[in-house]
Amino acid sequence: MRALLTPEVVPRLGVVLLKPGKELMRLFSAGRVLVEPEPEHMTRLSTGRVPDARQPLAEDEALIPFFTDERVICAAGGLSGLEYWLKRNACECQYPRSDYHHHELVTMRHAPGAMMLCWHCDNKLREQSTGLLAGIARRNVIDWIIDTVLTGLRFNRERELSIAELCWWAIYVGVVDAIPESLAARAMQMPCETFPSVYKESDIIAVDNRSTVALQRRIKTAGSLKRCRPQGNQQVMQEQQPKVLALSADPESPESFMLRPKRRRWENEKYTRWVKSQPCECCRRPADDPHHVIGHGMGGTATKAHDLFVFPLCRECHDKLHADVAAFGQKHGTQLELLFRFLDRALAIGVIVKA
């Protein structure tokens, strides 16, 4: 909190007399006060408390679910932190509908937060739940979280908090899951997808285009980068690829000594789930299924090939393959060619690694 005070200077003695007044006296009781010449950008301000910057995010109704989320409140310091903030910033009773206010102030918790009340209003409003009290508590929570975010980002109250800074704080404190779709869309500069009441079958695409999912993908991508040791004056950034599948060889397995061993199908749900998240090997659209190779001595009645012999296909390409394998192979290449190309990529980017 900053204030412009009118000094009375006695040049000969080098004494500066400050007249803070009753409203600003608590600045001196809160701790040490730094006295310095008035900066140029404050020359037009009148004497008194420097007004805080207007925070448009506090007035955005779309962000209310984020500010009142229990995870966000807990990350900001919990209700005890809110009460401590109120004691330092609220200097009077916040209940407007009272003709009398006692001089003693106390905090009263009310969903979704808390508020500062005088002793008289606290006794009168305790155990009550009204829209007015909820609005006061909600406003306190929003102002407190914005102030906490500014403090956490090393800013003061003269700065207007932006959407990007609020999202970064949410990522930093680990509450990215509480970010609503509208906030993530604005931070990612993506259009907010509308949900019509009726869909055409041709408009349904099996892909998750939510803004929050795109934001989490960006976070995972950034987290997969690791900083290597500096070489000269350059910092070398190396991508740390996800290790989805680790393989090892066992040349002396019990089945290898049997004349007619019982074959077991190799399964790995983690790998097939990753395959499903990759682009289609034919049209490069988002894949829907991990296709198991059919024919070539693999698969049969009520059986599938091993989970290693899969490659991603969208639903349309997958249906065309099963409808006519020969026509599909003439247009896109054989299954073995597609499988070899996909396995080569999986090995090259470090998804399949040695155990």
DSSP 8-state secondary structure symbol assigned to residue 296: T
Considering only residues 144 and 174, tell me which one the structure prediction assigns the higher pLDDT.
144
pTM: predicted TM-score of the whole model, two decimal places: 0.49
pLDDT over threshold 60, residue 229: no
Residue boundaries of the structural domains of the chain:
3-49, 56-161, 245-253+266-354
pLDDT of res. 236: 45
> What's 245-253+266-354's CATH class?
alpha beta
Taking all residues of the chain, what is their mean pLDDT, rounded to a whole number? 78
Considering only residues 281 and 214, tell me which one the structure prediction assigns the higher pLDDT.
281
DSSP letter for each residue of 153-193 = TT--TTSPPPHHHHHHHHHHHT-GGG--HHHHHHHTT-PPP
pLDDT of res. 247: 78
pLDDT of res. 239: 43
pLDDT over threshold 70, residue 235: no
Calculate what percentage of the chain has a pLDDT beyond 90.
Answer: 25
pLDDT of res. 141: 94
Per-residue confidence band for 212, with pLDDT thresholds at 50, 70 and 90: low
Per-residue confidence band for 209, with pLDDT thresholds at 50, 70 and 90: low
Q: Tokens 């019982």 correspond to what residue?
A: 262
